[in-house]
A and B are shown apart, each in its own frame.
Chain A
Amino acid sequence: MTTPAAKTTPDPGVATANHLPPRSPELSDLAVMIGGQGGDGTLTVSDLLGRYFRKRGLYIYTSRNVLSRIRGGHADACIRASRDPIAAVKAEVNLIVAFDKEALEIGRSELAADGWMLYDSSSFQSDAPNAVGFPFATLVGGVVGQPIFKNTAAYGAISVILGFDPDQTRAVIEERFAKRGAEALQKNLKALEIGRKAAADTPGLANRWHVADGDAHNQILTIGNQAVALGFVVGGGRFFAGYPITPATEIMEYLMRYLPAFHGVVRQAEDELAAVNMIIGAAYAGARVMTSTSGPGLSLMTEGIGHAGTAEVPILVADCQRVGPSTGEPTRHEQSDLSHLAHLGHGEYPRFIVAPGTVEDCFEITVEALNLAERWRLPVILLLDQALCQNTTTAEPFDLSKVTVDRGNRLTSEQVAKMESYAAYQFTPNGVSPYAPPGTLGVYSQITGNEHNEMGHVSVNPVNRVKMMDKRMGKLIHAEPELPVPHMFGDAGAKIGIIGYGSTFGPIREAQGLLDRAGIRTRFYNARTLFPVPSRTLEPFLASMDVVYVVEHNYTGQFAEMIRAALPQHHAKLRSIKKFDGNSFRAPEIVGPIQGGR
């Protein structure tokens, strides 16, 4: 039982501990979950910890569990720090900091056996084992006058428990709050000391764990959505229209900041119908364009994307997948749009679906996708997922040296002047017609979603129809060698294969490490092109394996089904590891089935 006195006595020395676990050794990989009601400042604690860990050269990865509401309700963040590169949520949490009871309840199931829970005993009590109560709000309220600084006090207590360097702990507060003015900074520094003293004065609490320093000093801190926005800018993207939707909105917000400096335009449209049609108009006029959305918006854009496919207008559509269908779970993670995207829309038209696995890859593939769209004059889908889009992670600085801008066969007025004739839908061996945007002197372009002849005039001629279908659909075959190749990891001679895309990259890489330690060798095919199904690289991969696990976040095993359909000769080797509870994979959830031979 906790001591009720803790609630009323603002004595920094009073802590309530049910059970103090034995000291643990130095950690190289640590996860702290901070939870509370919206407005409790849990994200600030996560941010402060992140800043400290980065000073110590650690890689960090932060996931958030937020509800679809602005204020109130439970929200938590889980920050992981590691000496090795990470791109996944840690399976076990070492330390939970709870400002509400829900945080304890949610966190308990993921708490490591020797983990601790720190909670604000000024608002509730807990008799859970390993729970330590501190009256953070009361302590801070008594000294600083405003209990809201309890989050900084919690950071102070954590810093003592994890044996942080006191000067660097303080420096983090100074960096974070200096801009808010001297008064805010002083209050936070006071709150920090209250938290530090409370933990230090509690016997057996200080230096419970020591986090080893790392050498990740040249890393940036970013999210997939920012990487996509930056990739778009440096890839020559200049026109973006979108509609706010979780978890895609940050792409639009970043571009609102970036694009105006480059003759770029960002428009928040009245709906997704307008957004996709605005980019179609802009692409027709000759701009490099993109929209970003999530499931519900994607459904609305579907007609427009088909229009771009048959009108041969190059557009890029980023789909930041979340739990569907309908409104689903707007803030939660899933990868369940793939089947829809592969068959998107009525009628038949070519589209490419590319999927980055890391934030660095978000940057690179966005550039590549822009080139592919213009080179092949069709819609390209950039398939993302909530975890990749929004989880904060350390990453290699974005590399401009890999960026190329290839506008395909785009005609200038000078080139046109030397031509005898121009037709926007001219038949060519690879199906791609040279294109002169409006404003090009000497020629006109007529573009339409109706079936059309080479000139762009409506045609229902059966011979023309067949030729035009062959022209467009043939791009899927002609372009295949140019599509993003998979990234391969692990043992080239392994007989157990793993296939995954998007944010499953991180958990799969971690699972490979765990399997390796258990003597199980695996080879990971990180798919970066999902449609057309990359048979050219998948076939030899599958052929060389005894068994292949397809890891994905949906109920039906969508990518596995697509692979089966494309390469039926290997169907018996394929197993699915699926998760669709709204959370991203933890490495052991991938290790388990593989180790069990399921």
Chain B
Amino acid sequence: MVQSVKPVPSTWCPGCGDFGVLAAVKKAAQEAGVPPYDEVLVGGIGCSGGIHNFIETNGIHALHGRLLAQAVGIKLANPQLTVIAAGGDGDGYAIGMGHFIHAFKKNASILYIVMNNELYGLTKGQASPTSQLGYEGNVEPPFDAILTALSIPVPNFIARTFSGDPKTMIQVLVEAIKFNRANRGFAFVEDLSPCVTYNDTFKDWRARVVDVATLPGYDPSDRQTMFRLCTETMHSGKIPIGVMHRPSAPDPSMPGLELKLLPDKIGPAVADIGLATNRGAYEKLLRAVA
């Protein structure tokens, strides 16, 4: 057996919410039947972005805010790969916001996990786009990724989990990975992952999370309903979690981007680019230039 890169011990603080995600990703990939060598973890910059080093798998550590662009590039280069991008709220909702919005629109079948701790941990506790008013002098109201995601009319899979509830998280991630592997498009899971060092919200969040599936009228195929349920829950001081959008059935006109571009799933990374194979087609191509 050839030796290659092994996981290193995590650099996270004891009790960090990210450990929940790490465990859930490992378990979910197994349960969803991902062939080990076909898995790629794309890490962002920040505490959470180190996750790809703590799992025995393929990984790429992207630039700050650019993990989604790299993840989409990987998926389109080789649709056989199962691509999981994971980063923090600063990475995804501040410096990477442009790519975040476009990821829903692009709808490549990758999973994007945002470990939201409502602050910048690695740079020692500054306010982030999701910080509550007043946190570290923050005067800007927090950004809500789920409401934004629901506003983009593409049949993505959208969910929010809580690191304090690993069982549900695994279920959601398994569903998200299976959604990707069926080439149904982009899956977005925001995990509420408290920073135990700078703002330990475990207790507070545990008391406030509400699984939207328990609310009357819950229908994850209907964006309007889910938007209303989320905003009503937020107005009552609670935090909505659970599956926020799940298309009722695969929409053949809106498959994952990789399937639109590469119907046979043979991508640029595995295509035979040898001259011998392509000579006839190349000659034809060049002859057309007159």
Please determine whether B76 and A277 come into contact, CB atoms closer than 8 angstroms. Answer: no
- Which of A230, A419, A458 is B53 in contact with, Cβ under 8 Å? A458
Please determine whether A448 and B61 come into contact, CB atoms closer than 8 angstroms. Answer: yes
- Which of A271, A405, A449 is B98 in contact with, Cβ under 8 Å? A271
Q: How far is the CA of A445 from the CA of B53 in the complex (A)?
A: 11
Any chain B CB within 8 A of the CB of A588?
A: no
- Which of B52, B72, B282 is A281 in contact with, Cβ under 8 Å? B72
Any chain A CB within 8 A of the CB of B268?
A: yes
Which residues does chain A contribute within 8 Å of B279, judged by CB atoms? 400
Any chain B CB within 8 A of the CB of A421?
A: yes
Q: How far is the CA of A269 from the CA of B53 in the complex (A)?
A: 28
Please determine whether A267 and B5 come into contact, CB atoms closer than 8 angstroms. Answer: no
Q: How far is the CA of A416 from the CA of B286 in the complex (A)?
A: 37
Least CB distance from A479 to B in Å reads 22
Least CB distance from A52 to B in Å reads 15
Please determine whether B289 and A239 come into contact, CB atoms closer than 8 angstroms. Answer: no
Nearest B residue to A270 via CB reads B102
- Interface set, chain B 20-48, CB cutoff 8 A to A: 37-40, 42
- Which of A271, A282, A419, A450 is B269 in contact with, Cβ under 8 Å? A282
Any chain A CB within 8 A of the CB of B270?
A: yes
- Which of A230, A262, A283, A417 is B281 in contact with, Cβ under 8 Å? A262
Task: Given A238-B268, A238-B271, A447-B59, check contact A258 B285 (CB 8 Å).
Answer: yes
Which residues does chain A contribute within 8 Å of B102, judged by CB atoms? 270, 274
Least CB distance from B59 to A in Å reads 5
Please determine whether A230 and B286 come into contact, CB atoms closer than 8 angstroms. Answer: yes
Which residues does chain A contribute within 8 Å of B76, judged by CB atoms? 239, 265, 267, 278, 282
- Interface set, chain A 436-473, CB cutoff 8 A to B: 437-450, 455-458
Which residues does chain B contribute within 8 Å of A423, judged by CB atoms? 4-5
Please determine whether B70 and A456 come into contact, CB atoms closer than 8 angstroms. Answer: no
Q: How far is the CA of A456 from the CA of B56 in the complex (A)?
A: 12
Least CB distance from A43 to B in Å reads 19
Least CB distance from A568 to B in Å reads 37
Any chain A CB within 8 A of the CB of B207?
A: no
A-B contact count (CB 8 A): 230
- Interface set, chain B 242-290, CB cutoff 8 A to A: 261-262, 264, 266-271, 273-275, 278-279, 281-283, 285-286, 289-290
Please determine whether B273 and A238 come into contact, CB atoms closer than 8 angstroms. Answer: yes
Please determine whether A422 and B38 come into contact, CB atoms closer than 8 angstroms. Answer: no
Task: Given A277-B70, A279-B73, A286-B77, check contact A444 B5 (CB 8 Å).
Answer: yes
Q: How far is the CA of A101 from the CA of B130 in the complex (A)?
A: 59
Q: How far is the CA of A576 from the CA of B135 in the complex (A)?
A: 59
Q: How far is the CA of A455 from the CA of B102 in the complex (A)?
A: 33
Nearest A residue to B56 via CB reads A444
Any chain B CB within 8 A of the CB of A273?
A: yes
Contact with B along A261-298 (1 / 0, CB 8 A): 11111010111011101111111111111000000000
Q: How far is the CA of A275 from the CA of B66 in the complex (A)?
A: 10
- Which of B37, B57, B262, B289 is A226 in contact with, Cβ under 8 Å? B289
Which residues does chain B contribute within 8 Å of A457, judged by CB atoms? 5, 8, 53
Which residues does chain B contribute within 8 Å of A245, judged by CB atoms? none
Chain A contact patch, size range: 35 or more
- Interface set, chain A 396-452, CB cutoff 8 A to B: 397-398, 400, 403-405, 416-417, 419-424, 437-450
Least CB distance from A423 to B in Å reads 7
Least CB distance from A209 to B in Å reads 28
Please determine whether A282 and B61 come into contact, CB atoms closer than 8 angstroms. Answer: no
Task: Given A265-B77, A445-B58, check contact A270 B268 (CB 8 Å).
Answer: no
Nearest A residue to B95 via CB reads A273
Please determine whether A264 and B271 come into contact, CB atoms closer than 8 angstroms. Answer: yes
Nearest A residue to B61 via CB reads A448
Most buried by A among B5, B42, B65, B278: B5
Most buried by A among B56, B60, B283: B60
Please determine whether A405 and B275 come into contact, CB atoms closer than 8 angstroms. Answer: yes
Least CB distance from A179 to B in Å reads 15
- Which of A241, A263, A282 is B74 in contact with, Cβ under 8 Å? A282
Which residues does chain B contribute within 8 Å of A497, judged by CB atoms? none
Please determine whether B268 and A397 come into contact, CB atoms closer than 8 angstroms. Answer: no
Any chain B CB within 8 A of the CB of A307?
A: yes
Which residues does chain B contribute within 8 Å of A277, judged by CB atoms? 62-63, 66, 69-70, 73
Please determine whether B73 and A282 come into contact, CB atoms closer than 8 angstroms. Answer: yes
Task: Given A281-B74, A444-B5, check contact A438 B285 (CB 8 Å).
Answer: no
Q: How far is the CA of A365 from the CA of B218 in the complex (A)?
A: 59
Please determine whether B98 and A403 come into contact, CB atoms closer than 8 angstroms. Answer: no
Please determine whether A404 and B1 come into contact, CB atoms closer than 8 angstroms. Answer: no
Any chain A CB within 8 A of the CB of B99?
A: yes
- Which of A281, A398, A449, A456 is B73 in contact with, Cβ under 8 Å? A281
Q: How far is the CA of A437 from the CA of B271 in the complex (A)?
A: 13
Task: Given A274-B99, A277-B62, A282-B269, check contact A400 B282 (CB 8 Å).
Answer: yes
Q: Which B residues form the contact surface with A (CB < 8 A)?
A: 1-6, 8, 37-40, 42, 50, 52-53, 56-63, 65-66, 69-74, 76-78, 80-81, 98-99, 102, 261-262, 264, 266-271, 273-275, 278-279, 281-283, 285-286, 289-290
7 contacts between A and B (CB under 8 A): A226-B289, A233-B282, A265-B268, A278-B70, A445-B59, A446-B5, A446-B53
Given contacts A311-B60, A438-B40, 4 further A-B contacts (CB under 8 A): A221-B289, A236-B274, A239-B268, A282-B76
Q: Which 9 residue pairs are nearest across A and B when measured between Cβ atoms? A: A281-B73, A238-B268, A236-B273, A277-B69, A281-B70, A263-B271, A448-B61, A286-B269, A282-B77
